[in-house]
Structure 1
Amino acid sequence: MAQANAAAVTGTGTSAQWLARYNDSLMGVFGSPQRVLVRGAGALVWDADGKEYLDLLGGIAVNALGHAHPFVTSVIASQLTTLGHVSNFFTSPTQIALAEKLLELSVAPAGSKVFFANSGTEANEAAFKLARAHGKAHSPAGGPARTTILALDGAFHGRTMGALAMTAKQAYREPFEPMPGGVRHIAFNDIDALREAMDGTVAALILEPIQGEAGVRPLSTEYLLAARELSKAAGALLILDEVQTGVGRTGAWFASIAAGITPDAMTLAKGLGGGFPIGAIITFGEEPSQLLSAGQHGTTFGGNPAATAAALATLHVLETQDVLANVRAVSRLLADGLQKVDGVTDVRAFGLLIGFDLAQPVAAGVVTAALDAGFIINAPRPSTIRLAPPLNLSAQQAQSFLAALPALIQTAVAAHASEGA
């Protein structure tokens, strides 16, 4: 056992050895891992056999500054020498400072507040409870209960039960039904459908400004503006899930605020901690911020000193090193290059959250060919590739992928044709 633990610390052992141990010890909920990764630096990672990869997925939009960023890791290490965890019977300077920074960056009005969790799904669970608390507070005496939460077709809000109830993908939901009640899914980007659904039973509407898991699918600015207007008129909360799109991913601090929308609540996670687990919900204004009182919600690890220090360090680098300008520049480079690749039919680029469609349903084959060639990408749909690389990805690194992509598509198309023969 001591030898096995030492191997884990040093990363020694072949991929085959590690995968055999994985299959013997971990639940199979993720399927078979594609690689055993042991080291990273910036946008590069290396597997247990020493092969190098350009990480264009960033842990699914998590590693905002890539791997092992020296400033972020030094801040985390320094924080752990003082306080790592204290429970929420207490607070810490890093927790308070991070809440203040998020309120500043989100241009939150007076009375706004922050609650810290550990992940996006936990932030959305808090949003679910916020919606129900709002509904109870605003249900008319003797009238219909205001308990409905509206979500959109194609939505992904997480895997825990409340977040899963708001998620639209049936394959994720069906094994665990019945879901928590009161959630209704409506047509994506359809203002008329939203207007019809927004009745007196609706407590909240939850939206992703851009649906990442559905293939990088954006809501129009017109829809977001209508959502703000209609939810306000109906007395319902507007909750924006910026777990994937927030913290600079789209080239702005938050996709919704860049579109001119101020929600009643916004959920964050993924890139916020630069790879360290943390989630948050921001409530905008006094009324939403007073819906959950002492004892009505909580978390053991949420907002701990190490996680909030990691987030403060990440935000500091993003803000002081002009990383968002790099996001916009590299986004343009990738979007322009992808549009010129044979076999690519559509490109949707929002900063460094990019989806592009293929002429044939060979996305999984492209992912496999890319991995063999040293690139990590993702296929959220059979004909769609998603990129969500570190926000400090260089132009040279982006160009290396563009140069390789035509051959990757050709390899996947040929394999698809041979399978159908």
Structure 2
Amino acid sequence: MIPAVLPTYNRAPLTFERGEGAWLVSDDGRRYLDLGAGIAVNALGHANPQLTEALTAQAHKVWHLSNLYRIPEQERLAEMLVDRTFADTVFFTNSGTEAAELAVKMARKHWHDAGRPDRTRILTFEGAFHGRSSAAIAAAGSEKMTKGFGPLLPGFTQLAWGDHEALDRAIREPDVGAVMIEPIQGEGGIRPLPDVCLKGLRDLCDQTGVLMILDEVQCGMGRTGRLFAHEWAGVTPDIMMVAKGIGGGFPLGAVLATEKAAAAMTAGTHGSTYGGNPLACAVGAKVMEIVADDAFLSEVRRKGALFRQGLEGLVASHPNLFEGVRGSGLMLGLRCKVVPADVVKAGYAEGLLTVPAADNVVRLLPPLNIPDADIAEAVRRLDAAASALNAA
């Protein structure tokens, strides 16, 4: 008999009743150090008092209005994002998947209104993950996500990761309107796109007029030690998808865009009942206030270097289990020589939560404000989990 909750997840046999900072407490009272942060969502940890205060204050005023009316909290957050980024305008969604849907629509509407309705094709890359909607799975193209869900939405071409010649050929084809890429692939195994490659891609887009869409749903909002990961390369996109950390745990996403890329999205071309609701935007504004601070981002970089140093030592101590460390800031991955699920499971026994990914990687995505002592404890527990695997 099918359960009441549709069984689309392979859930761990763990139930948590409360959390604080980087820690979760299960229903049997056991404490777990959370290095997943809800898959990079709880950017400021569990039960953050500043976010709780912002949410509670707004909850006593108004929860929902719909976008039939002006929403001051939405306007405030949009202005904060515009002031701190390349963007001229912002549309709020409830998730990264919804942001991906709008990014695709925006790129195609741009070319339609520019008199080139033929430029509908969007280039994407092997290993990508842009969500679970029909457009998002068609964009990623992997069999794991698309099998059984055909016919797929047309208009996407997947290129091999790192194949510069294939990219150079494809982007010059006359029907290509946009290229969509993650500066660091998350689900794909914490695979960073080198800065020189992102710069080269920006140059190709400038030469051909192709729009650059960046998916910073997982790697954005301070995760790498800059507000957005593309800032390391010194380039700017035309359109960018944001979600996860922007709400600090409250469902919130956004599409940021230049005026040129977004100008065709006029009244009636897109909408959302819940997107940009007062509760989400009140929390998002508080997250931005904290995370966009230069001193905070400097601390993320320092903590990331400290964590990486500990992980490099872990790899050196267990060369039969681990191959190396990937990533940037507090978006790190352990590439394994064993099945990542085994490492994750061994972590459960040590009171440690991690997240598996493709390419034999275990993701480590702790809250951005994780204390140094918790980083040291994380390395200690990872070492204990590795020792248990060796002994098994």
> 2:256 pairs with 265, 278, 282, which one?
282
Task: Determine if contact 1:156/1:169 at 8 Å carries over to the other structure.
Answer: no
CA deviations 1:220-277 (Å, max 9, x no partner) are 1121112111122222110000001111010000011231111111110000011000
Task: Name the structure 2 match of 1:403.
Answer: 380
In 2: Cα distance, 1:381 partner to 1:194 partner:
23
In 2: Cα distance, 1:89 partner to 1:243 partner:
27
Shift of 1:412: 2.7
CA deviations 1:260-307 (Å, max 9, x no partner) are 1111111100000110000000112x2212121111111000001100
In 2: Cα distance, 1:218 partner to 1:382 partner:
13
Task: Determine if contact 1:138/1:146 at 8 Å carries over to the other structure.
Answer: no
- Which letter maps to 1:214? G
Q: How does 1:197-212 map to 2 (within 5 A)?
A: 197-198=170-171, 199-212=173-186
TM-score, normalized by length of structure 2?
A: 0.95
> 1:148 pairs with 121, 125, 142, which one?
121
CA deviations 1:384-420 (Å, max 9, x no partner) are 11101100011111111212223312323454xxxxx
Query: Which blocks of at least 5 consecutive residues in structure 1 are unaligned?
Result: 1-22, 416-421
Task: Name the structure 2 match of 1:99.
Answer: 78
Question: Which segment is superposed worse, 300-309 or 311-320?
Answer: 311-320
> 2:325 pairs with 338, 347, 360, which one?
347
Matched, 1:292 2:265: yes
Matched, 1:130 2:88: no
Task: Determine if contact 2:350/2:384 at 8 Å carries over to the other structure.
Answer: no
Question: Which segment is superposed worse, 223-232 or 72-81?
Answer: 223-232
In 2: Cα distance, 1:31 partner to 1:406 partner:
25
In 2: Cα distance, 1:275 partner to 1:262 partner:
27
Matched, 1:327 2:300: yes
Per the alignment, in what secondary structure is the counterpart of residue 349 of structure 2?
helix
Shift of 1:159: 0.1
Task: Name the structure 1 match of 2:194.
Answer: 220
CA deviations 1:329-388 (Å, max 9, x no partner) are 111111111112223321113110001112x22321111111111110012136311101
In 1: Cα distance, 2:61 partner to 2:329 partner:
37
Task: Determine if contact 1:64/1:271 at 8 Å carries over to the other structure.
Answer: yes
Query: Which blocks of at least 5 consecutive residues in structure 2 are unaligned?
Result: none
Task: Name the structure 2 match of 1:177.
Answer: 150
Shift of 1:326: 2.2
In 2: Cα distance, 1:107 partner to 1:230 partner:
19
Please give the root-mean-square deviation of Cα atoms over the aligned residues, in Å. 1.7
In 2: Cα distance, 1:115 partner to 1:167 partner:
23
> 2:17 pairs with 32, 35, 38, which one?
38
Task: Name the structure 1 match of 2:44.
Answer: 65
- Alignment identity in percent? 40
> 2:135 pairs with 148, 162, 171, which one?
162
CA deviations 1:93-121 (Å, max 9, x no partner) are 1100100000111143xxx1100000000
Question: Which segment is superposed worse, 127-136 or 316-325?
Answer: 316-325
Shift of 1:321: 8.8
Task: Determine if contact 2:20/2:47 at 8 Å carries over to the other structure.
Answer: yes
TM-score, normalized by length of structure 1?
A: 0.88
Task: Determine if contact 1:339/1:345 at 8 Å carries over to the other structure.
Answer: no
Shift of 1:197: 0.5
Per the alignment, in what secondary structure is the counterpart of residue 249 of structure 1?
coil
> 1:187 pairs with 157, 160, 163, which one?
160
In 2: Cα distance, 1:125 partner to 1:264 partner:
15
Shift of 1:34: 3.3
Shift of 1:152: 0.6
Larger Rg, first or second structure (1 or 2): 1
Question: Which segment is superposed worse, 381-390 or 220-229?
Answer: 381-390
> 1:370 pairs with 339, 342, 347, which one?
347
In 1: Cα distance, 2:154 partner to 2:19 partner:
43
In 1: Cα distance, 2:378 partner to 2:84 partner:
32
Question: Which segment is superposed worse, 41-50 or 24-33?
Answer: 24-33
Task: Name the structure 2 match of 1:258.
Answer: 232
In 2: Cα distance, 1:381 partner to 1:219 partner:
16
Task: Name the structure 2 match of 1:78.
Answer: 57
Task: Determine if contact 1:139/1:146 at 8 Å carries over to the other structure.
Answer: no
In 1: Cα distance, 2:279 partner to 2:294 partner:
22
